[in-house]
Chains A and B, each alone.
Chain A
Amino acid sequence: MDRTDLKKIYNNSLAGPLIFAGVLFLLPFVVQSNYILSIMIMIGFYALLCNGLTLLMGYAGQISLGHAAFYGIGAYMSAYLSAKMGLSPWLGMLAGMILAAIIAYIVGIPIFKLKGHYLALATLGFGVIVYTAFKELKDFTGGLNGFFGIPTISLFGFEFNNDFRFYYLIWLFVILGILFSRNIIHSRIGRALRSIEGSEVASDAVGVNIMKYKLQVFMLSAMFASLSGSLYAHYITFINPNLFDVMTSIYLLIMVVIGGASSIWGSVIGAAVFVLLGEILKSVVPLVFPNAGGEFEIVFFGLLLVVTLIYMPNGLSPQLEKLIARFRRNKELVPAPVAAGRDGVESGGDQS
């Protein structure tokens, strides 16, 4: 009775993540292409980052246009500690996450007094300030010249120094991140976060300390971003401030919206769609407009964002869930009357 009860509202089965992990595991053996692997790794970075951002934006309903800052903080912290101080990249990663959480806390206290557009602007401002700091704190970051010679990451002597190896590292983090987030969503904390998105006055009235949870989820999402940034730095071994500018924050927002801010799987879908479309654009646009620069991406993704918001305000993931649900029903035609009630959960709020 116990477990079945909870299953009626929260689908905590490991089947989905396991199938997903299985497919990811086999992919490099099936598709033996370094190009595909490097694309998958990029998707992994963004998926990990958007995972935290989805908790913040989709579940708690708080916008952030400054998350590239935390991405950068992780990257630089890890780079500095490992390249300049000779510490282990793992320590750098941890230090980055702690620093990101502390900064998120300090910044969060004043900005979460704001809501909606004002909050968006404040986080945007935060992003600009941190980007400027990356540019100007030349002793630490190397300024616009960039930061060179970041060591690769290794575990017990096993170095993640090529795409094949790193691919498994990053996606391991993504899957763990998804499980962690899903556990949070399916708990008291998840309901508290969603109640803030649903109705702040009611949330307050049932005893949810709104400020506390906004800060917690902001800090958590900052830590996800920082972790992703650290991994990125150790993968690419060279970083510069432009990787962490405001445009990156906006791309992150686009990923979260396209994927579907109210499903934790939306972060993976959004990251994948963004990276894949970006690659396609890169090869298609020059054929049509030989002189086109990178601005095409901005225009294209801007349009995509608008179209998504108009026609699919909940992003792609609810559509995908519907598809999976239909597939399941066809497969096991006879004994599947429960599915409807259970699948609805993850596709949380109708943003109005």
Chain B
Amino acid sequence: MSGQQTILKVEGLTKQFGGVAAVHDVSFEVKEGEIFAVIGPNGAGKTTLFNMITGVLPVTTGKVYFKDRELTGLKPYQIAALGVTRTFQNLEVFSNMTVIENVMTGAHLRMNTGILRAGFRFPSVVREEVNIMEKAMECLKLVGIEHLAYERAVTLPYGNQRLLEIARAYVSEPELIFLDEPLAGLNSEETRKWINVILKMRENGMTFVFVEHDIEAVMSISDRIVVLDNGIKIGEGTPEEIYENPKVVAAYLGEEEEDAVSC
């Protein structure tokens, strides 16, 4: 949309689990400022693809570039340091912390305090803590849960935990955020809230790539979409183009006549 610079380039990514190719030769590019969706039926390999890009799973073959830096082979924390972070399908908030501490942990890379300086609590440590706490509070305001800042994270309802994960990712000022099924388990009210948050963050220059089942939501906010089926890319384009792609329709709805018979 905004800048036309390529921010993420995925080249021929393949993941073999034994003899099975969970993802096979998938390539696409994401432009700066885009909201980019990866969709596909269950078991299409979306999460596997995500895990490879974010360094959670090693790739079998293929390459991933963030701007000009190769991400392949890097660990998640190294990828995070380059400005790429993510949220999780099965919520992974830090259940042993308050909401604001969760977000402050997200700012880990924006801080310098080491173990010794922390132990002696130099004045610089306190200053840094105060700064980060304010910044964390701003992020909580952005996603609209600042009133819950001092609650324990586990006590939050599901929808708010999703928002918390986004705030935690956003606070580190990444350039690209991966969202793994961010709408799973949300009701329509929560989904609407979530979409507003994402659109607001995009206005601030963030790029998003997300995996999702909820086609309605995907179509309404994505700029471009990649469709996977059985680990293979079967379509790519704007929401309109995807609607009209016969392969995609077939994968999603089943080829109508044949399926009707076989059922």
Contact = CB atoms under 8 A, between A and B. Distances in A.
A86 interface: no
Contact of B94 (A3, A199, A344): A199
Interface string B119-162: 11100011011101110000000000000011010100000000
Given A8-B150, A9-B133, A191-B97, A206 B118 contact: no
Interface string A175-196: 0000011011011111110110
Contacts of A181: 119
Contacts of A204: 56, 75-77, 80
B150 A205 contact: no
A345 interface: yes
Given A187-B125, A207-B85, A199 B92 contact: yes
B105 interface: yes
B98 A202 contact: no
A139 interface: no
B9 interface: no
Contacts, number: 135
A149 interface: no
Given A205-B86, A207-B109, A208-B108, A190 B96 contact: no
A205 B50 CA distance: 12
Contact residue range for chain A? 35 or more
Contacts of B132: 188
A209 B56 CA distance: 14
B40 interface: no
B111 interface: yes
Interface in A213-250: 216, 220
B96 A206 contact: no
Q: Which label, helix, strand, loop or mixed, suits the secondary structure of the B interface?
A: helix
B106 interface: yes
Contacts of A8: 149-150
Given A9-B150, A194-B94, A206 B85 contact: yes
A202 B115 CA distance: 21
B172 interface: yes
A17 interface: no
A202 B54 CA distance: 12
Contacts of A184: 115, 118-119
Nearest to B154: A350
Contact of B96 (A205, A220, A350): A350
Given A9-B133, A183-B118, A350-B95, A191 B101 contact: yes
B128 to A, nearest CB: 7
A285 interface: no
A205 B120 contact: no
B250 to A, nearest CB: 35
Contacts of B115: 184, 189, 216, 220
A183 B80 contact: no
21 contacts: A2-B130, A183-B118, A183-B125, A184-B118, A184-B119, A188-B111, A189-B113, A191-B104, A195-B105, A198-B94, A198-B97, A201-B56, A202-B88, A203-B94, A205-B86, A206-B108, A206-B169, A206-B172, A207-B77, A207-B80, A209-B77
9 cross-chain pairs, A with B, having the tightest CB-CB distances, nearest first? A349-B96, A198-B94, A207-B80, A202-B92, A187-B118, A207-B109, A204-B76, A341-B150, A183-B121
Given A195-B94, A206-B80, A207-B81, 4 more contacts: A188-B104, A205-B76, A344-B98, A350-B95
